Amino acid sequence: MPMFMSTPDTACAVFAAAIRCARVFPICVLGLNLPPPLRFAHIAIVGLLLYHPAWVCGAEIVRVITRFAPSPTGSLHLGGARTALFNWLFARRHGGQFLLRMEDTDQERSSETVAQSIIEDMAWLGLHHDQDVVIQSARRERHTQVAEELLARGKAYYCYCSEDDIAAEKLRHENEGKHYRHHCPSRDANHAQSGTAGVLRLKSPENREIKFTDGVYGEISVSSEQIDDMVILRSNGHPTYLLAVVVDDHDMCITHIIRGSDHITNTIKQMLLAEAMGWDNPQFCHIPLIHDEGGAKLSKRNRAPGVHEYRELGFLPEAVCNYLLRMGWSHKDEEIITMQSATQLFSIEKIGTSHSCLDSKKLLFLNHHYMNQKTELEILGLLLPFLEQELGHTVAETKLARLSLGVKKLMERAKTLADLARDSVFYVQNIPISVDDDAKQVILKSSELLAKLVGAMSQIEPKTWTKDFLSSYIKEWTKSNDVVISDVYHLLRAAIAGRLSTPSISEVMEILGQEECISRLRFFLNS
């Protein structure tokens, strides 16, 4: 393959253009002798055909089809979500399809509930799949059919070696410093032994280099001497993961497989399976793994955080997607990349070969950015479930209207929706409001000042209850009463907001209103 076509993006585009031109060329020739009016119409039709790849090229030839194939044995963690995102972006970038398949061959650990949660997490991220979800276990008959065909072709054989014998032989080779490659004595038999349960194995090739050009890592080569005769049917007749994946990818017409670099060994084996069936292999693109902040690989086994956890913590899907996109893929030095932009910019060539590490500070930065792109109305809609969880009850519309006046100021500090709910809950609480420990201490030691403030606030004319007037009034009042102004502000914040850190307390008091503020001050005075 020429160097300029060595990447999946370029090869796909060049191949598509060549097929289009070849198919449209005869139509172009037919229009050369047409009179001018018809010739112009002819040019328009040719242009339309060139633009429409499904008609000219045929979907089976140039249409990109990717897939995400999680195992429903654990929640969708960030590594899996990034794999789904890259497959989704590549398909959208090329006007193709993004399919979803649940690989539930591990029936003991697979769960329909987990599968549904993965689908919900993907929908929350905006990674909507095309067509129906494929359930791998529902295709067992098809997988078995292919296994039997491989047996009939002499590409597979029944093995009756016990697991204990294989383990002992493997250990012996390891002790001798040799690589163990399982070859069963039954390898050349073409029939099953009656009354004996065996596994069906694929015959791996002898003395051969198995090569493929990876979309990220370039050429990868493995000696066939490193590849066992892999099991494709278990002794109970159930197909293995390796067989099911190859059959499903072929039947789903998958053109590109983008997945973690830990699958490279599987890829070699799957290529051999496809080759044994006479099938073309898709373009493989293996992406570097994500490590946690301690340097360990993300996995279900080491309790990698799930997408649903970030959702529950109040992260926005666009922030999580932007964060995942920048872990392994880059466009110049840009940190903020919307999904709309990414569908136009994404390419395999820009994926790096070094692993990425989780960076919670970067995710918080991105989430803060995307939160502040929202309008007050949008934020209130997103914030409401978190507020109701904080309160333990629904929020009245009148109190939401009050919150809408103050939420933008609070967003300057909040990094997540959960943070924002905690910071803003005082706007919508009924008396008694919740009070943190620092605020409680201020209230307990300020009963005399609290009584004076209740009187001072009650003397203000309702029509003058504005942040500007309150700010001036409090300053004048502290001077005339020989009170330290910081003590007054601390007490007002403690008794009115239940915390010592708020936006301008004069602004908060204007939003809450005179009656509510005095009621809160009186409650703590009388307690």
Domain spans of the chain?
3-61, 65-71+103-287, 376-427, 437-526
409 is in an annotated binding site: no
Q: What is the pLDDT of residue 45?
A: 63
DSSP-H helix ranges across 239-375 = 241-251, 264-277, 307-312, 317-325, 339-345, 360-371
Higher pLDDT, 244 or 192: 244
Model confidence pLDDT, tens digit, residues 444-479: 999 999 999 999 999 999 999 999 999 999 999 999
Our measurement of the distance from residue 390's CA atom to the centroid of its chain's CA atoms, rounded to an integer in Å, reads 27
Q: Which residue from 375, 379, 442, 390 is spatially nearest to 421, judged by alpha carbons?
A: 390
- For residue 239, give the amino acid letter: P
- What percentage of the chain exceeds 70 in pLDDT? 84
DSSP state, residue 258: E
In a 3-state reduction of DSSP, which class is residue 40? Answer: helix
436 is in an annotated binding site: no
Reduced to 3 states (helix: H, G, I; strand: E, B; else coil), residue 116 is helix
Q: Are strands 156-159 and 199-202 parallel, antiparallel or unpaired?
A: antiparallel
* pLDDT band with cut points at 50, 70 and 90 for residue 164: confident
**DSSP assignment of 297-310:** BP-TTTTPPBHHHH
In the DSSP assignment, the letter for residue 87 is H
The pLDDT of residue 174 is above 80: no
- Could you tell me what percent of the chain has a pLDDT over 90? 75
Integer Cα distance of 332 and 373 in angstroms = 23
In this prediction, residue 369 has a pLDDT band, given cuts at 50, 70 and 90, of very high
DSSP conformation class of 182: -
pLDDT of 31 higher than 70: no
Decide: residue 525, CB within 10 A, 0-12 exposed, 13-18 middle, 19+ buried.
middle
Q: Quick one: the chain helix, strand, coil %, rounded to 5?
A: 55, 10, 35
Q: Do domains 65-71+103-287 and 437-526 have the same CATH topology?
A: no
Interatomic CA distance for residues 222 and 34, integer angstroms: 59
Q: What is the pLDDT of residues 57-85, one digit of tens each?
A: 344 445 899 999 999 999 999 999 999 99
β-pairing, 218-223 vs 290-291, is unpaired
Residue 134 has φ and ψ, to the nearest 5°, of -90, 125
Residue 53 scores a pLDDT above 80: no
CA nearest neighbour of 419 among 489, 467, 358, 372 = 372
Phi, psi for 67 (deg, rounded to 5) = -150, 155
Rounded alpha-carbon distances, angstroms, from residue 218 to 4, 125, 157, 211, 489: 13, 30, 33, 10, 64
The predicted-structure confidence for 389-430, as pLDDT tens digits, reads as follows 999 999 999 999 999 999 999 999 999 999 999 999 999 999
Instruction: Tell me which range, 134-148, 180-194, 222-236, 287-301, is most confidently predicted by mean pLDDT.
Output: 134-148
Q: Is the pLDDT reported for residue 271 higher than 90?
A: yes
Decide if domain 437-526 falls under CATH 1.10.10.350. Answer: yes
Q: Are 272 and 227 a contacting pair, CB within 8 Å?
A: yes
Q: Phi and psi (nearest 5°) for 68?
A: -120, 130
Cα 110 to Cα 117: distance, rounded to the nearest angstrom = 12
Q: Where are the beta strands (DSSP E) in 90-140?
A: 97-102, 134-135
Q: Please give the Cα distance from 438 to 500 (Å, whole number).
A: 7
Architecture of domain 65-71+103-287: 3-Layer(aba) Sandwich (3.40)
Residue 193 has pLDDT above 70, yes or no: no
The answer to whether the annotation marks 479 as part of a ligand binding site is no
104 labelled binding-site residue: no
Report the C-alpha gap between 118 and 503 in whole angstroms. 39
Which residue's structure tokens are 């991105």?
366
Angstrom distance (rounded) from CA 462 to CA 472: 15
Alpha carbon of 61 to those of 20, 50, 67, 82, 293: distances in Å? 11, 15, 17, 27, 43
Cβ–Cβ < 8 Å for 98, 88: yes
Pairing status of strand 209-214 against strand 218-223:
antiparallel
Give the tokens for residue 94: 């090329």
Predicted local confidence at residue 55, as pLDDT: 42
Neighbour count for residue 448 (Cβ, 10 Å) = 8
Residue 181 — very low, low, confident or very high, per pLDDT cuts 50/70/90? confident
228 is known to lie in a ligand binding site: no
- Cα 372 to its chain centre, rounded Å, is 21
Query: What is the CB neighbour count within 10 angstroms for residue 256?
Result: 23
Angle, helices 505-512 vs 514-526, to 10°: value is 100
299 vs 201, residue with greater confidence: 201
Q: Rounded to whole angstroms, how far apart are CA atoms 444 and 447?
A: 6
